[in-house]
Amino acid sequence: MEQVFDFVQTHFPLLIEHKYLFLFIGATLEGLSALVIGGFLVSTNSVQFLPALGVFALGHTLNGYIWYAVGYYTGAKSLDKWGRSKEKSRKVIEKVEHYFHKHSGKAIFITKFTFSLTIATQIMAGSLKYNLKKYSWYNFLGSACWAVFAMSIGYFFGQSYKLFFVYVEDVAYGVAFLGGAIALIYILKWLIRTAFIQTIIMHETVRYLSDKIKNGIDKILSNGNGDKKEY
């Protein structure tokens, strides 16, 4: 592992001197890979956990404000162009939008952990002029929790690589381990996205059936009261 960091120190000294700044920029502009790499670096003692978590949470929060501003100033146009261009995507966005109207805070928080729904929800919040104070809270909380989650994946793979590196001193395996961590986090985000959408669909189905049952009972009771009056 020392060979890797000696190489970086020699050829890319700015990355070492301003590592937290680059991590912050990475979290703001890209997010996912930067967080996993950050966890990997924590496992090798290249960066400290709390400072890294702080810059990641702030960077991801700033990213949320950027997309909120996009929705705030452009309205639903950007969401229509980005999320409703395909029929399948349009249906998913509409379900999330319906859920957002009823559970806005949960939607902002949960979609931080999903693939492709994060930006759509943040734009949606801005276009609906969602309360900025509430948005700030859920945006930061979701960003911090997501940073911990993603960094944990990177940390786990980093620790595994350190054990493996004792037996096989090949930098290429480090790149492979890091790539595996990033691939895993993408898969997890996709699975969480799927579970979230299925939960929304199930919630709508249960509510629809409940309304049907309630309306049926009300109709029976109203008919019963009408018969009594005629009698």
Model confidence pLDDT, tens digit, residues 82-128: 555 566 667 667 777 777 877 788 888 988 887 677 888 888 889 88
Residues 6+ apart with CB under 8 A from 74: 127
Q: What is the largest CA-CA distance in the chain?
A: 97
Residues 6+ apart with CB under 8 A from 181: 36, 39, 40, 153, 154, 156, 157, 158
What kind and span of H or E run contains 137?
helix 132-165
Question: What is d(CA 146, CA 138) in angstroms, rounded to the nearest whole number?
Answer: 12
Question: What is d(CA 85, CA 52) in angstroms, rounded to the nearest whole number?
Answer: 37
Least confident of 3-7, 65-69, 158-162: 3-7
- The residue with greater pLDDT, 50 or 228, is 50
pLDDT band at 12 (very low <50, low <70, confident <90, very high): very low
> Of the segments 32-46, 75-89, 182-196, 201-215, which one has the largest average pLDDT value?
32-46
Please state the rounded mean pLDDT for residues 146-156.
86
Q: What angle do CA 87, 91, 92 make, to 5 degrees?
A: 120
How do residues 33-84 score in pLDDT, each as one tens digit?
A: 788 888 888 887 888 889 999 999 999 999 999 999 988 888 777 776 655 5
